[in-house]
């Protein structure tokens, strides 16, 4: 099938140079590039979605600052009986 596309001059110049070096055609390079892009896009894994793992409660307890990890660890240990 014949199709017309517009390519930036600098990119076309690079493609022609690469094709000449490799003994191929610009058409072959374009087809190879399209195959690679389509393969990558069609085989992309599904986007990760973090499940909601929240639970009921009153949130952060009074006197515990998020920036104070020692206090947070102490609170966790206290609640678990360690």
Looking at residue 66, the DSSP 8-state letter turns out to be T
Query: CA separation (Å) from 27 to 8, 21, 33, 37?
Result: 15, 14, 10, 15
Q: What is the pLDDT of residue 82?
A: 64
Q: Which runs of consecutive H residues, i.e. helices, occur in 1-82? A: 9-22, 26-42, 69-80
Query: CA separation (Å) from 48 to 15, 44, 51?
Result: 36, 11, 10
Residue 81 binned pLDDT confidence (cut-offs 50, 70, 90) = confident
Q: What is the pLDDT of residue 11?
A: 96
Using CA atoms, how far apart are residues 60 and 52, in angstroms rounded to an integer? 18
User: pLDDT tens across 15-54, in order?
Assistant: 999 999 999 999 999 999 999 999 988 887 778 888 887 7
Residue closest to 29 by CA, chosen among 62, 5, 63: 5
């Amino acid at each position: 099938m014949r199709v017309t596309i517009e390519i930036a001059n600098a990119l076309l110049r690079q493609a022609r140079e690469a094709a000449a070096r490799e003994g191929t055609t610009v058409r072959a390079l374009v087809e190879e590039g399209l195959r690679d892009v389509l393969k990558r896009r069609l085989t992309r894994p599904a986007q990760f979605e973090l499940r909601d793992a929240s639970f009921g409660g009153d949130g952060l307890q009074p006197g515990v600052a998020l920036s104070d990890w020692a206090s947070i660890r102490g609170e966790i240990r206290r609640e678990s009986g360690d």
